[in-house]
Structure 1
Amino acid sequence: MATSSVPHLLILEPDSRGHVREWISYLVAAAHKAGPDALRLSLAVPPSLAEELERTLPPVRHRNVRAMALTPREVAACMHRQLWISGMARWWIMRRLMARAAATHGLFLALDHLSLPLALGLGAGHRPLSGILFRPSVHYQHINAHPPSLRERLRELRKVVLYRLMLRNPAVGAVLSLDPYFADFAAHHYPRASKVTTIPDPVCLAPDPAADERRLATRVPNERKLFLLFGELTARKGVLVLLEALQRVPPELACQIAVVVAGPLDPPIRDAVRSTVAHIHRLRPDLWLHLEDRRLASGEIVALLERSQVVLAPYQRFVGSSGIILWAAQARRPVLCQDYGLVGRLTRDFGLGMALDTTDTAALAQALGAVARDTAAIKFDTRGMERLCNERKPERFAQIVIEGALCGHHDTRLAPASAGREALP
C-alpha cells in the first residue's frame, strides 16, 4: 500500500484523568498490531502523558504511533469550565494539529465537549471528525422511572437540538456512543442517525496485585464486611451523601462494616469530605472508615475488590457510563448504586446489584444497614456480570473506535477477524 493511501488518525484528548490512559493503551496496541502499512496514529495529549507514551513506544523509525504534547495553554483552554469555550478550543486545536500533521481523520475521546462547534457546522477542512459520546441523556425519559427535573428537561432540550444539528454536519464522520441504548433512540428521532455507532465501554484488564499493592486492603479488619467506593471522587459521585448516610446507620449494624473511600478528591469538595470524615471518626468509633485521597494503582483496586463484599456507586443523578460498575462486575462483586440513567439501567438489565434513589439519604442509609445486616439482601447475577464483561473486551473497543473514526476505510489488519460490529443489547 502506498504511503499516501495509509489513513492517519489524530486523537485529541487534553484530560489525562480517569480512563484515558487505559483507552489510549488499547488504541496504541491496536495500531501496533495493524502495522504502519495499515494505520498511522498521532496522539495529542497533555505533556505528562506524552512523556509516558514516548518512554513506552518503540524507536521512531520502527513505529506508526507518535505522541504530540499539547502546550499548557492549549490544555487550559480545552479544560475550561465553560463547555462552549472548551468545545471551541478543542475544535480549533484539532483543526490546526490535523493540518500540521497531515492527518486524514480526527477523533475526540470526549465528543460531548464538541456538540456546539459541530452543531454550528464547523469542520476540519474536508477531513472527517468523529468522537466518543459519553453522556447522551436525551433518551433517559424512556429508561427511568423518575420524572426529570426542570433543569434536566432544559438540558435534554438543548442536547436534542445540538445532536440534530451535529449529525447534519457533513464534517462529522461517526458518533461513537458508550450508551448501548442511545443508538436505537437516535434511529427513531434523528435523520442522520446512521452516523451513530455503539461502542463497548471496555472492562479494564485486572492485573494480579503485587505484595505492596495489597497493603491498603490488609488494613481492613478481618471481621468486618467491606463496602468500597473508589474512582474520581466528585460531588456527582455521591461522596458527601454517602458520608451523611453512614452516620444514620445504627451502631449495632455499623460495627459490622468497614468503608473505604479511595481516589483523588475533587478540590471543590476536598475540605468538606475531610472534615466530615474527621467528624465521623470522633463521634462514631463503631464505624470503621478510611479515606485514601489519591489515585490507586490497578493492582490496589483489584486487591480491594477481592476483599470487599459490596461496591458503592451512590451517584447523584449522574449521566453516562461508569467504569466502577465494570470493575465490580469483573470481580463478581455486587454494586449498590443509583437507579437513574445508564448506570441504573445496566444494573437492572444485567443483575449487577441494588439500584435505588441514592439522592435520598434516608433510603441510602436503610440500604446500607440492610446489607450490613445480611449481604444476601443485595441480589446479583454472576452470569449477567460475565455477559456484561464478555461484551466489553478492550480489543473490541479499539477495533470499533478505529474503524468508526476512519469512516468506512476498512483494512482487515485493523482488527481480528473474529471481532464483530454488532451493537450491544
Structure 2
Amino acid sequence: MTTSYKLTEPQLQHKALNSRRLMLFDMSCGGHHGAFIQHLIRYWGEHDLPGYMDIVVMPQFIKQHQDVVDLAASYRSDRLRFVPITTEEKAELGPWSTFARRKMRALREWSLMSRYAKNLGTTECLLMYFDTFQLSVVLRRKLPCAFSGIYFRPRFHYGDFQAITLSQKDRIRHLQERVHISLALGHPQLKTLFSLDQFSVKHLNKSSSNTQVVYLPDPVQTYPDSKFQANSLKANLGIEPGRLVFLMFGIIDERKGIHQILDAIAMLPPHLCQKLCLLLVGCISSADKPKVKAQIIKLSQLQSVQVITRDRFVMEREIQSYFHISDVVLTIHQRHVGTSNTLIRAAAAQKPVLCSDYGLMGEWTRHYKLGLSVNSAVVSEIAQGLTRFLQESPEKFFDSISARKFARQHSAEKYAETIFSYM
C-alpha cells in the first residue's frame, strides 16, 4: 500500500498513536536501498509482527523499486505502508553536489524525518543510513521518538587490519571519526546502533554507555531457482565457449575500479585474453560511461577478449544468476569503506573474488579465504591477479567451506531478525 501525505492536513494524525508504530526512513534509491527495505517487509509480513510500519521514501523509490512496493501490497495489511515524501519536500532537501551542500541536506533530512515522525505518530524510527545523520546526532538534535540506525561506513579501526598502511591524513581522519561516533553514541534517544562491520563493534561498545551496539549482517537473499535460470542466462548472453567469466556487478563506475580493470586486461598477453570474458552487469555511471565505452572499443581492437555489458538496473530476484554463471567476481573497489554485498553474493555462489586489499573488504577476503586480494589502485597488481586466475584453477585460491559459512552469516532472514529483535 502506498500513501502520500501533506503534513499540514489533520488526517495525518493516526488513530492508534499509542500503538507501536515504527518508521523506516530512507532518502536514497538504487543499490542496496531497495533490498534492505524489502527484507524487513518480508520478515514483518511473514511473521505478522504487531503494530504498524511506515516506510518513508523518496517519490522515485515507488517506481524504481516497484517489486518492493508490490511485496508490501501482497500482505494486504493497513498496518504496513509506503509514505513517499512530496515533490516539494524533495526539492527543499537540496542537492548533494558539494561537501557543504551534503551537510546542509543531511540537516534538512533530519528535520523532515522529525516532522514525519510527529505527524505519523511514530514510536520508534530506524535510520536506514545512519552515516548521513551523524552530525545531527552529535548536535543532540531531538526527535519526537526514540531512534536506531544502520551504520555503514566505520573506518576508525582500519589500522587494526593487516596489509593496511595508514598515512598521517588517515590517522587524523580516524581520530576525528572516533570522536564523532563517541559523541553520537551519547545521544539520549539513540536506542540501538546496528553496525555492518563486525570488527568495529568491540570499539563502539567501549565508547557507548546507554546505546546498544549490535553487529548487523549485510543481507543477501538467495532464491532456489537462480541456478536453473543461470543455465539459460549464459546462452542468452552469448558467452563464448572456453572463456572464464569475470563478473563486475552493481553500479559500474570509477569507485568500483572499472577503469583499472580495463587497463589491467589491456596489459595481458593475447593467449590469456583469449580465455577471458569480462561481464559488466549493472548501470554504468553516466559520468564514467564515455570513458568506459572508449576503453572497451580500444581493448576490443587490440585484444581478443570478450566484453559483455548489461547496462541496466537488475531486479533483486535476477541478481544471483549472474554470479552462478561467473568463474571469478571482481571486487576491486578503490579504497572502499564498509561492506560489499557483491563479496557476500560471490561467497553464496561459491565463486572466488579478485578483491581490493583495503579496509573491511580486504579483511573479509583474507579472513574467510574468499579469493585473492591486491592493491586495487595499482593496475599491474590487478593484471597479476587476473593472470593467476587464468593460468591456474580459480578454486585454488578459495576455501569453499569458509565461504559458505561466511555467506550463511549474511542471510536476509538473520538481518531482519536482528533488527526487529533490538527495536
* TM-score of the aligned structures, taking structure 1 as reference length: 0.87
The reply on whether 1:236 has 2:236 as its aligned counterpart is no
Distance change (3 Å), C-alpha of 1:59 and 1:328: closer
**Aligned residue type for 1:109:** M
Letter in 2 for 1:7: R
Q: Aligned residue for 1:414? A: none
Please state how far the C-alpha of 1:56 moved relative to its aligned partner. Answer: 4.0
Distance 1:267 1:196 in 2: 38
User: Where does 1:143-154 land on structure 2 (aligned, <5 Å)?
Assistant: 143-154=161-172
Q: Aligned AA for 2:44?
A: A
- 346 and 303 in structure 1: CA distance in 2 versus 1, 3 angstrom threshold: same
**What is the match of residue 40 of structure 1?**
52
**3-state DSSP of counterpart to 1:364:** helix
Aligned to 1:379: 397
The one-letter code sitting in structure 2 at the alignment partner of 1:49 is: F
2:219 to 202, 216, 219: 202
Map Cα deviations across residues 162-181 of structure 1 (whole Å, 9 max, x no partner): 10111111121211100011
Query: For 1:294, what is the secondary structure of its paired residue?
Result: coil
The answer to whether structure 1 residue 320 and structure 2 residue 335 are counterparts is: no
The answer for the alignment partner of 1:109 in structure 2 is 128
Deviation of 1:369 after TM superposition, in Å, equals 1.2
Corresponding residue number in structure 1 for 2:96: 80
Structure 2 CA distance, aligned partners of 1:106 and 1:162? 21
Deviation, structure 1 residue 399: 1.8
Task: Return closer, same or farther for 1:79/1:109 CA change in 2, 3 Å cut-off.
Answer: farther
Output one character per residue of 1:302-359: Cα deviation in whole Å (capped at 9) or x when no partner.
Answer: 3332222111111111000001011111110001101111111111111111112111
Which residue identity is paired with 1:46? M
Partner of 2:185, secondary structure, is: helix
- Paired residue total: 400
Greater shift, 265-274 or 246-255, is seen at 265-274
Q: Which residue of structure 1 aligns with residue 35 of structure 2?
A: 22
Q: Could you tell me which of 338, 346, 369 is aligned with 2:356? A: 338
Superposition deviation, residue 110 in structure 1: 0.6
Fraction of identical pairs, as percent: 25
Is contact 1:334-1:378 (8 Å) kept? no
Q: What CA distance in whole angstroms lies between the structure 1 residues aligned with 2:268 and 2:212?
A: 48
C-alpha distance after superposition, 1:81-102 (max 9, x if no partner): 4331232122111101001101
Which whole-Å deviations, capped at 9, do the CAs of 1:375-422 have from their partners, x for residues lacking one?
247511111111112212212211211233x2xxxxxxxxxxxxxxxx
Q: CA deviation at 1:199?
A: 0.8
Output the CA distance in 2 between the equivalents of 1:103 and 1:132.
Answer: 18
Match runs of 1:184-263 below 5 Å: 184-188=202-206, 190-192=207-209, 194-206=211-223, 208-209=225-226, 210=229, 214=233, 218-263=237-282
Partner of 1:269: 288
Cα deviation digits, residues 190-218 of structure 1 (max 9, x gap): 14375211111112223525589716764
For 1:62 and 1:230, how far apart are their aligned partners in 2? 35
Structure 2 equivalent of residue 171 of structure 1:
189
How far the C-alpha of 1:360 sits from its partner, in A, is 1.1
Once the two structures are superposed, residues 266-294 of structure 1 have per-residue CA deviations (whole angstroms, 9 ceiling, x without a partner) of 2221211111111112222x111223221
SS in 1 for 2:287: helix
Change (3 A) 1:365 1:327: same
Q: Secondary structure at the match of 2:268?
A: coil
2:10 aligned residue: none
For structure 2, list consecutive stretches of 5 or more residues without a partner in the other structure: 1-14
Tell me how far apart the structure 2 counterparts of residues 212 and 63 of structure 1 sit (CA, whole Å). 40
Superposed displacement of residue 5, structure 1: 4.8
State the alpha-carbon separation in 1 of the partners of residues 345 and 87 from structure 2.
Answer: 32
Following the alignment from structure 1 to structure 2, what is the Cα–Cα distance between the partners of residues 273 and 384?
35
Instruction: Tell me what 2:306 maps to.
Output: 288
Counterpart position of 2:19: 6
- C-alpha contact 1:32 1:64 (8 A) present in aligned 2: no
Q: What is the rounded CA distance, in whole Å, between the counterparts of 1:205 and 1:62 in structure 2? A: 25
SS at match of 1:57: helix
Q: What is the aligned partner in structure 2 of residue 394 from structure 1?
A: 412
Aligned to 2:78: 63
Between the aligned partners of 1:34 and 1:177, the Cα distance in structure 2 is 24
CA contact (8 A) 1:32 1:63 kept: no
Q: When the two structures are superposed, what TM-score results if normalisation uses the length of structure 2?
A: 0.88
Deviates more, 1:2-11 or 1:289-298: 2-11
AA in 2 matched with 1:66: R
In the TM superposition, 1:345-424 aligns within 5 A as 345-376=363-394, 378-404=396-422, 406=423
Q: Distance in 2 between matches of 1:378 and 1:244?
A: 25
- Tell me which residue corresponds to 1:31: 44
- Secondary structure of the equivalent of 1:267? coil
Closer/same/farther in 2, CA of residues 264 and 4 from structure 1, 3 Å limit: same
Secondary structure of the structure 2 residue equivalent to 1:168? coil
3-state SS in 1 of match to 2:192: strand
Shift of 1:74: 3.8
Q: What are the ranges of 5 or more consecutive residues in structure 1 without an aligned counterpart? A: 407-425
User: Aligned partners of 1:272, 1:325: CA distance in 2, in Å?
Assistant: 26
**Residue identity in the other structure for 2:87:** P
Aligned equivalent of 2:138:
119
Single out whichever of 61-70 and 112-121 deviates more from structure 2.
61-70
- 1:181 is paired with a residue whose SS is helix
Give the whole-Å Cα distance in 2 for the aligned partners of 1:200 and 1:304. 22
